[in-house]
Structure 1
Amino acid sequence: PEMKEKIFLRGQVEKKDKIGLGLGLTLVKKIVGNYNGQIWVEDKNAGDHSKGSNFIIILPEEV
């Protein structure tokens, strides 16, 4: 999958120190999905992932 989708998969840790289980974004996506919400990631500067990311979370109003 594209990197922006891959980061939500369990175990996808790409840190220099390799500490962590890679569960954080997987859990966030699961929780957001349980509330019928959406989550996605965008480059801060379109097309340039080296400048950081924005995570967008949309939840239904009744949540």
Structure 2
Amino acid sequence: MNRLLKMVGANIKLIRLEKGQTRELLDEMCEIQPTYLGDVERGQRNITRCRLRKLLCGLENLLQR
């Protein structure tokens, strides 16, 4: 499970960085706590499906910019 969390977090971070966006912007777009995304990106937080869906929606919005 830990390996999966690290892979998901790394991919979220990669997409965010490729778009040149900050964690703060993605936090705001996803309506999640600022420290939560950092924990997810480092693979330190077990993400729920609900929050994953929010993050994916936020990433989709970043990709459309």
Q: Shorter-chain TM-score category? A: 0.3 to 0.5
**Higher Rg:** 1
Relative to its length, the structure with more helix (as a share) is: 2
- TM-score normalised by structure 2 residue count: 0.32
- TM-score normalised by structure 1 residue count: 0.32
Relative to its length, the structure with more strand (as a share) is: 1
